[in-house]
Homo-oligomer: A and B are copies of this chain.
Amino acid sequence: MSPKLSALHNRMFKAKAAKKLSFEDIGKKIGRDEVYVASIFYGQAKPSKEELEKLSAVLGLPENHLKEELGEGFYPDRGGLMSLPPTDPVLYRFYEMIQVFGYPLKAIIHEKFGDGIMSAIDFSAKVEKVENPKGDRVKITLDGKFLPYKKW
């Protein structure tokens, strides 16, 4: 599908489509959150040995294909899937949130935690659908460890 994804990742997407599985479905079967599962499909996360075995079973793809390319010696070269600023409106809105609310969020983090950052590595993200008569709402929760700056 995407020229920026490897052939194997494209096969994973095809198998998922053919089996009409959502990321949520897959997540339930391999015991991971759906966002995390999607990150594996987009080559943004390193699946463990167990995850690859379960993915092989769920997607019907040969285990050795998955393990050879995405196993032990594979460390994702993260990012790079999109040009920045992103052109797709869904992605751009995230970018706009940084443009507009980036400094306010930084200020609040410092007021609450002091001098440091919110980790994007020791980090998780979750998406929920909140039904609302005026129009459903997307609720995204970002959860990252606070890392204080070291002095030396």
Copies per assembly: 10
Pairwise interchain contact A141-B141, C-beta atoms closer than 8 A? yes
Say which size band chain A's interface belongs to. Answer: 35 or more
**Bound Cα distance from A107 to B107, whole angstroms:** 30
Q: Which residues of B contact A73 (CB under 8 A)?
A: 17
**Bound Cα distance from A90 to B119, whole angstroms:** 8
**Interchain nearest-CB distance for A104 vs B (Å):** 3
**Bound Cα distance from A138 to B111, whole angstroms:** 12
Q: Which residues of B contact A137 (CB under 8 A)?
A: 143-146
Q: Which residues of A contact B (CB under 8 A)?
A: 2, 17, 22-24, 32-36, 38-39, 41-42, 44-46, 48, 68, 73, 75-113, 115-127, 129-130, 132, 134-152
